[in-house]
Structure 1
């Protein structure tokens, strides 16, 4: 069975909202969108390209899916990450979407835990979650994430959706790898402690 891996940008205070653009996600009046861009260096770009190109499938929430579906199908297909994103299955968790225009997209059913288990079992390769804050919190609470690859950016935002929601179940993680980038981003890999290698 393949692993479910969360690859996420987070601030020092754990915020993961509206990382790439101002209008990406304004829920709760969040107005700090695009905060990762000043820190994206060649190491961050290479890491994200490898994480994407190496995945066997994507698991996305509605908002992230809509953002990706509006851009990735029109990217440079000579780029291995773009080609991989367009070729791989894309599992979408949504109660409202009916039309999935991006080729290879599959709408998951109402029982998310069962559906994610089925998606993981369908491939030996990794299923990667990118963004998708609300979906990711549900996956965390049901212990469905096998590995977290967190890019921790050197800033404090003070507000916004967090990777680990307040009031969630306490959990231990084991750090299995870490490195820093020239712009000060820490790339940390964690596994749930009971599954740590």
Structure 2
């Protein structure tokens, strides 16, 4: 399976609490729900198309708890997101989760990069990460993520947890696709391309 990452971001890189005020108010974050005004039909088509490719999900503990508090109650079999989240395998990176109640959930409690590499070796289409910024940064550092889908929303928040926080491993990315929704969300799809390369404009001009 290919390991893909999908993230909703503000223009200043915040990924915290996009879905609602109660989603993640940690560290005093008061801007929860910032992605909601931009969830138009174009946005829905993009997200639905990705969920249709999923054969399993990989989530960090916080994102898992958010999803588990909502999606099990969405029981419409025609809902392409709910039907997949509720029926496909879900893997949670956590050292504290013991008995998950959401069906088809398995816990990855130790050596997460090795466990993820093993999951990727299994047949299938996509093992998908949604949100889960801390887990995503760790797996990028281990060169395990095959595709990064970043949906930049036209809003600046000035506070909140960021996907590429200080200390993120330097990584070059290759743009493979882009799209824009009617509400102004800009999608960039990337493949990791190793470590960055460097040069000097001053040296070129000499």
The TM-score bracket by the shorter chain reads: over 0.9
Question: What is residue 38 of structure 2 aligned with on the other side?
Answer: 39
Q: Is 2:62 the partner of 1:63? A: yes
Structure 1 segment 127-146 matched on structure 2, within 5 A = 127-146=127-146
Shift of 1:87: 1.6
Q: TM-score, normalised to structure 1's length?
A: 0.93
Residue pair 1:8, 1:149 contacting (<8 A) in 2 also:
yes
Q: Is 2:87 the partner of 1:72? A: no
Shift of 1:89: 0.6
Tell me how far apart the structure 1 counterparts of residues 155 and 81 of structure 2 sit (CA, whole Å). Answer: 27
Deviates more, 1:79-88 or 1:96-105: 79-88
The root-mean-square deviation of aligned C-alpha atoms, in Å, is 1.4
| Superposed CA offset, 1:30-54 (max 9, x none) | 1110000011110111111121122
| Superposed CA offset, 1:110-142 (max 9, x none) | 101111111111233111101112211211222
What stretches of structure 2 of length at least 5 have no aligned partner?
A: 195-206
Structure 1 runs, 4 residues or longer, greater than 6 Å off: none
Q: TM-score, normalised to structure 2's length?
A: 0.90
| Superposed CA offset, 1:96-115 (max 9, x none) | 11111111111113101111
Residue pair 1:53, 1:85 contacting (<8 A) in 2 also:
no
Tell me how far apart the structure 2 counterparts of residues 139 and 49 of structure 1 sit (CA, whole Å). Answer: 24
Tell me how far apart the structure 2 counterparts of residues 168 and 36 of structure 1 sit (CA, whole Å). Answer: 24
